[in-house]
Amino acid sequence: MMASINATLPIKISVIEELAVVWSLETVQVLREHRVTGVMDGALPEQPNQNRTRGLPMVLGKEAVTLLQDIAVIELVHYPDLNNSPSDKMDILQVAMEKGDFSKQRNRYIEDRKRHMMKHSDKILASAKKKNAKLAKDNPKRVPENKLTIENIISDKVKDLKLPGRGSLVVQIHMEYPFINDLKSVPVRWNYPITEREIMAYLVYRDLWQKGYWVVSGTECSLDFLLYKGDPMMVHACLGVKVVASDIDTNTSDATSIFDKLKLTNNDCKEKSTETPIKTTNNTITKSNDIIKDYACKPDAEKQSYINSNVKHLRVPIIPAEGEAVGGKSIFANPGISIEKMVGLVRMNGIAKRNLLLAYVQRNGTITYHTIKWNGFEFGGVKLPS
């Protein structure tokens, strides 16, 4: 664990083009201690020509930024001076830092040579004594036997070492500006969440995080989030999360109450030391497999009324419209399929590769979770694996 884990909070995070960007590896480690990670967006220094594995900087998700602000872990700032040429003071500091780096590298070179000579000290000492014995007694280079020690020999050899020149030394390129703490920072206002949809997504993100899970972006899987029971670098996602606006609460007097849900109390954002199970309801969705089977067997004339009586308050295609497929059943009205339907089917099959957690958010901020397990799809008569 890095020493900077004990760094003073809040940590300053730079905002660039409305993105919260982390440049410091130490800061990344601090955020991971709070079960928050982002998307690595930089090239690896030693492998810049590949993009399979990325490095710093790390871009934080909007929900993560809001959460970290709420729990006072980070402070969003902007550094106006970074847009200007370095001042004379910064130039002097830069030169002094480079000289210090070069000096450290030369000292390391000397220490490496000393270790190498000590490793072969027996041979070096024997060779030195042999050469010394060949010298005439009146030769000024002849060394008395009592002074011909390995320490003195190595010391003399170090004095004669040719130190590496500037061109042979490594110039450190800093990921984070090394004098960032000497620059003036300006606080940045973070405008997220704003819309009702953004607020719902954030409330779900925060709630799942409070339950002890790692929550990361699920954009690549056509989902809102992916849920992990442990470090995403060590385990696979256990659930895909889709945020759904619930139609249960239609009272217009509660229209703005979801915004009030963002006002935190002191106990709202405490981390859980252990994972809290997600409670799911036992209606509609948990019975979805039976509903799907019954739906597929119904005559076309009865399908819509069956949906209306069994599946309520849904805005996602759990029970599909005609032309879509679900639960291992293909229910196309005809052999043909439009591009739009095909794309939708492929996206649904991407979701099907993991269990799905639907997070229904009412306008008063109440969240209800439902889980779905998909069994795969048929497409053009071919079974697609789940």
User: How far is the first Cα of the chain from the last one, in angstroms, to the nearest whole number?
Assistant: 39
What per-residue confidence (pLDDT) applies to 280? 55
Round to whole Å and give the CA distance between 288 and 65: 35
Note the pLDDT of residue 329: 38
Which tops the pLDDT comparison, 155 or 338?
Answer: 155
Across the range 334-357, mean pLDDT stands at 54
What pLDDT score does 167 carry?
A: 87
pLDDT digits (tens, 9 = 90+) for 65-80: 999 999 999 999 999 9
Does position 62 have pLDDT exceeding 60, yes or no?
yes
Of the listed ranges 144-153, 336-345, 350-359, 367-376, the least confidently predicted one is 336-345
Give the model's confidence band at 175: pLDDT under 50 very low, under 70 low, under 90 confident, else very high. confident
Kindly report, residue by residue over 219-276, the tens digit of the pLDDT: 888 889 999 999 999 998 888 899 988 865 444 344 345 555 555 433 445 555 455 6
Residue 285 pLDDT grade (very low, low, confident, very high; cuts 50, 70, 90): very low
Mean of pLDDT values over 130-135: 87
Q: Return the number of other C-beta atoms located less than 10 Å from residue 133's C-beta.
A: 10
Question: What is the average pLDDT across 291-299?
Answer: 49
pLDDT-wise least confident of 46-55, 152-161, 187-196, 335-344: 335-344
> Is there a cis peptide before residue 57, judged by omega within 30 degrees of 0?
yes
Distance CA 101, CA 193 (A): 44
CATH code of the domain occupying 1-79+185-192: 3.40.1170
Q: How far is CA 94 from CA 91, 98, 164, 178, in A?
A: 5, 6, 21, 9
Q: Phi/psi of residue 96, each to 5°?
A: -65, -40
Token couple for 362: 């009412």
- % of the chain with per-residue pLDDT over 70: 67
Can you tell me the mean pLDDT for 349-356?
A: 59
pLDDT (mean) for 361-384: 68
> Tokens 């280079």 label which residue?
141
Query: pLDDT at position 228, please?
Result: 94
Q: Which CATH class is domain 195-386?
A: alpha beta
> Could you tell me the maximum CA-CA distance found in the chain, to the nearest angstrom?
120
pLDDT in tens, 319-340: 333 333 334 333 333 344 454 5
Roughly what angle, to the nearest 10 degrees, separates helices 288-297 and 300-310? Answer: 160
Least confident stretch, 5-9, 231-235, 300-304, 308-312? 308-312
Nearest CA to 218 out of 245, 198, 237 is that of 237
Domain ranges within the chain, ordered by starting residue: 1-79+185-192, 88-168, 195-386
Average pLDDT, the chain: 76
* pLDDT for 318: 34
Specify whether the CB–CB gap between 215 and 236 falls below 8 A.
no
CA distance 43 to 274: 35
Determine the pLDDT at residue 262: 56
In this prediction, residue 201 carries a pLDDT of 95
Write down the pLDDT at residue 353. Answer: 52
More confident residue, 37 or 139: 37
pLDDT at 133 over 70: yes
List the one residue out of 269, 246, 241 whose CA is nearest residue 258: 246
User: What is the phi/psi pair of residue 122, to 5°?
Assistant: -60, -45
Pairing of the two strands 39-42 and 186-187: unpaired
Give, in order, the Cα–Cα distances in Å from 151 to each of 110, 114, 116, 147, 264: 14, 10, 13, 9, 68
Does 130 score more than 70 pLDDT? yes
